[in-house]
Amino acid sequence: MTATAAEARRWPEETADLLIVGYGPVGQVLANLMAQRGRRVIVVERHPRPYPMPRAVAFDGEAARILAAAGVADHLASVGEPSGDYLWRNGEGRDLLYIGAAEVKGRNGWPESTSMYQPGLEAALIAHGERLPNLTVLRGQEAVRLAHDEDGAVLHVVGKDGTPRLLRGRWVVGCDGANSLVRRTIGTDFADLGFRHAWLICDLALHDRRAFVPNNLQICDPARPRTQVSAGPGHRRWEFMLLPGERKEDMDDPATAWRLLAGCGITPDDGVMERHAVYTFEAATARQWRLGRLLIAGDAAHLMPPFAGQGMSSGFRDVANLAWKLDLVLAGRAGEELLDSYAEERAAHVQHAIRMSVNLGKVICQTDPKAAADRDEVMIAARERQLARPQQSPFQPLTRGLVWRDGTGRRRRGAGDQVPQPRVAAGTTEDLFDEVVGRGFVFASLDDPRDLLGAGRTEFLRSLGARLVRLLPADADPATAPAGSVVDTEGGFAAYLHEVGARCVLVRPDAYAFGAADGAEGARELVDALSDALAEAGRPVPAAG
């Protein structure tokens, strides 16, 4: 039977604020973020049980901050470890590039790179979701068709026994991977960057915790590019590029995997092979991320090679951006036009991660001996003369979307920055900023926010659930700090404000700055600009006053 969105209103008990298709890590984070906000979430996942094998092996500091917001901060140390150093070496054993061990705490208060065991991370996300009463996960249910109108959507699902079911949601987000049903329903395809290579992936659970020096090694050998990296505590991954003429079915074989591992000094005495599989890495982005009530995120929206370790982290950025905007729309505090900024911001922002991963891949995947020799000569000379360029950071400002701009459309000071997360203290508590202050909109200032903004603007921010925070200097006593104040114990927040030439910043719930200002007049203009932006997205906002 074919049902329209209108016809499904006869099943009100199946209605959700949000339907999510796909319950991998990106879908899990989105489900937790939305259910924690009190939204009724239903997730459809075709696999009856969580996928037991690792796929991604790392996430960055911003992703760790998002995972903490999704309820699993206390589990990250048990499923992950700082990634450590990364060495590129050529086929002759000469060092091409060395990237030192990642700092223990980075801009977001977490290691800049964490190597993790994905099944353990997913188990933590799933367990947290099970404690949220308004989150329902339907496993063993395959989404087969979508119908949508201006009020919502109907999702047709079929159980493993063939039983059909209809679910209705006000919004649908596809976190359903490269073959996304939701993306196909939107009617868009991928813009392909034309970079793809097949690699054999071998994941091992090690028998002991011996140290690998370096912890992450890239062999740029034209005879066979290969990689070995940490995959979380007790786990390790080896990757081998398929050469011209090699077939997937021949390479995806235990005997082949062990033969290649033997060349790296690894035998069955060293560990149990959890998985071997051939993957074709691609680089592509969806041409359209939203159609009406349908949206996509994660691999449904973008694909990239693994060489920058940004695939899963980019998916987490997607849903962190989407969750707070969708919540404002569901609350009636903004019109659905606000969600256009999700696609605008993320489609542009993810391009940096994709370009970075492709550029690294072009260096690594070189199989022409002459071209590889030329590459080696340049990289070795740069290394010996210490002329290697600083490594590109995955952290980039937002250049489009919902950020404060001047009359010419240029971003104002600090607008679009990813705001750092230093440690702060209040009362007897000292922790990362998000844990002490809370999440959501934050107006943080070196001055008393109420004196800067006045009653009307203060009330507007509080209507959004915003935290108004005064930052006190590091030598202040947190035990005597006034309510609404925190001590900037490391001076990190004050340093950031000095860097952008401001005394206050208005932080979005995804930890990107809407804008920053210096002085009362600028602070009021900043808050008015957010009010105007939400009004333009369809919400009638009263004058701030």
Residue 538: is its pLDDT beyond 80? no
Residues 323/34, Cβ–Cβ less than 8 Å: yes
Share in percent of the chain as helix, strand, coil (round to 5): 35, 30, 40
76-105 pLDDT, tens digit each = 999 999 999 999 999 999 999 988 766 668
Summarised one tens digit per residue, pLDDT across range 232-251 is 999 999 999 999 999 999 99
Of the pLDDT bands very low, low, confident and very high (cuts 50, 70, 90), residue 231 is: very high
Tens of pLDDT, residues 51-79 = 988 899 999 999 999 999 999 999 999 99
How far apart are alpha carbons 495 and 519 in whole angstroms? 17
Instruction: Look at residue 10 and tell me whether its pLDDT is greater than 50.
Output: no
Res. 8: pLDDT tops 90? no
β-bridge partners, 136: 42
Q: What is the mean pLDDT of residues 181-192?
A: 97
Query: pLDDT value at position 392?
Result: 53
| Residue 255: C-alpha distances to residues 11, 102, 221, 259, 270 (Å) | 53, 35, 22, 6, 16
Predicted pLDDT at 256: 97
Domains of the chain (ranges; CATH) run 7-81+108-189+287-361 (3.50.50.60), 423-536 (3.40.30.120)
Query: What was the pLDDT predicted at 394?
Result: 62
- Is the confidence at residue 9, as pLDDT, over 80? no
| Rounded Cα–Cα distance for residues 167 and 224 (Å) | 49
The yes-or-no verdict on residue 542 having pLDDT over 90 is no
- Tell me what pLDDT residue 385 has: 83
C-alpha–C-alpha distance, residues 335 and 534, integer Å = 8
Quick check: 244 and 367 in contact, CB under 8 A?
A: yes
Cβ neighbours of 126 (radius 10 Å): 17
Q: Which residue has the tokens 């990250």?
A: 76
Select from 45, 36, 3, 2 the least CA-distant residue to 17: 36
Chain-wide mean pLDDT for the chain? Answer: 93
Q: Which residue has the higher pLDDT, 1 or 99?
A: 99
Sequence-ordered list of residues with C-beta below 8 angstroms from that of 103, at least 6 positions apart, any chain: 111, 112
pLDDT tens for each residue of 399-452: 999 999 999 999 998 999 999 999 999 999 999 999 999 999 999 999 999 999
Cross-strand partners of 165: 157
User: Residue range 172-190: average pLDDT?
Assistant: 97
| pLDDT the model gives residue 100 | 79
Handedness of CA 447, 448, 451, 455 (dihedral sign): positive
- Looking at the chain, the number of H-run helices and the number of E-run strands are 14, 28
Q: How many Å from the N-terminal Cα to the C-terminal Cα in the chain? A: 55
Q: Which one, of 263, 266, 257, 299, lies nearest residue 281 by Cα?
A: 299
Nearest to 47 by CA among 123, 148, 138: 138
Lowest mean pLDDT among 3-17, 118-132, 291-305, 333-347: 3-17
